Amino acid sequence: MPKILVSRKISDLAEEKLKNEFDVTLNLKDEPIPETELIKIINDYDGMISTGFDKIGENFFSNLNGKLKIIAQVGVGYDNISIKSAEQKKIKVTNTPNVLNEAVAETTILLILAASRRIGEAYNLVRSDNWKNQKPDLTKFMIGNSVTGKTLGIIGMGRIGRIAAKSAKAFGMKIIYYNRNKLSEELEDGAKYYSDLNSMLPDCDFVSIHTPATPDTKHILNASTLSLLPKHAVVINTSRGSTIDDDALLDALENKKIYAAGLDVFNNEPNLDKRYLKLDNCFVLPHIGSATHETRLAMSMMAVDNIHCFFNNKPLISKVI
């Protein structure tokens, strides 16, 4: 019976399904396995179910004894895994695309609304019981910017970007996008394409990042690109922290070079740059883009199904390599 390590707690049903077919080591306490510990234990396993929290880099792969055959990641992103090393060691890697598109799109809309309507400040005011001390000034009190009818610029019009665009249209938002390639008319669905990011940014009331973390997308929003946004612009990120240069975004927010930001992801999570916490115009979430019962179950099941397919010589459902 192949041995499978599950590095973090996944949905109960998925754990049960896995146990029916494999010799499974679960992480019931859900304590993160430190990198050195993971490297020590992984050689006992034929397969692993991983998450974005595991460091599966060159070190991990260089210590393998040949037993491990597949890593099934619970997550669409796999920037925590050295794909080059996996390829060299002929280890299959799978991820969980599509099942989280809607949940991440919901989070995108949530951030758009929260950042533009000052929800962080408003919520903190009520929770701290300070509302009663405020003057209900009709033109100043918690006044934000409308979302309806505004232009949303999407960086990376992939599966998640397109669903976020569709949801934003419910607010009458106009969609423009920057992508490596222009999409077919059907996939564009009325969105305007820009082949150059610098040309799109001045036209954005909101800009939302939906690219994977790659060397090409590292700091795609930096001092130079952020300076092209209008002063009322709002930056949204549900992809990966590495797409943003923190110093540049913090400078833009602190000095009101843009209006606000709504961020679900950060560099060096969960130890985000503390300067973000001091800003009224930055609405922050703890990387919960895909965090719904339904989505986490679907992601967990997909990882388990990939493991099942691999050990039963069936085609993988969602192969990275």
Show which residues are catalytic: 240, 269, 287
Tell whether the torsion through CA atoms of 132, 138, 140 and 141 is positive or negative: positive
State the nearest-atom distance from the C-beta of 39 to ligand 8YV, in Å.
19
State the nearest-atom distance from the C-beta of 100 to ligand 8YV, in Å.
5
State the nearest-atom distance from the C-beta of 254 to ligand 8YV, in Å.
27
Return the number of the residue (51 or 151) whose C-beta is nearest ligand 8YV: 51
Return the number of the residue (45 or 78) whose C-beta is nearest ligand 8YV: 78
Q: Which two tokens stand for residue 116?
A: 């533009």
**Which residues here bind ligand 8YV, judged by CB under 6 A?**
51-52, 74-77, 100, 289-290
State the nearest-atom distance from the C-beta of 229 to ligand 8YV, in Å.
25
Residue with the shortest CB distance to ligand 8YV: 52
State the nearest-atom distance from the C-beta of 59 to ligand 8YV, in Å.
20
Say if residues 32 and 8 touch (Cβ distance below 8 Å): yes
Return the number of the residue (253 or 298) whose C-beta is nearest ligand 8YV: 298
Return the number of the residue (120 or 289) whose C-beta is nearest ligand 8YV: 289
Return the number of the residue (152 or 298) whose C-beta is nearest ligand 8YV: 298
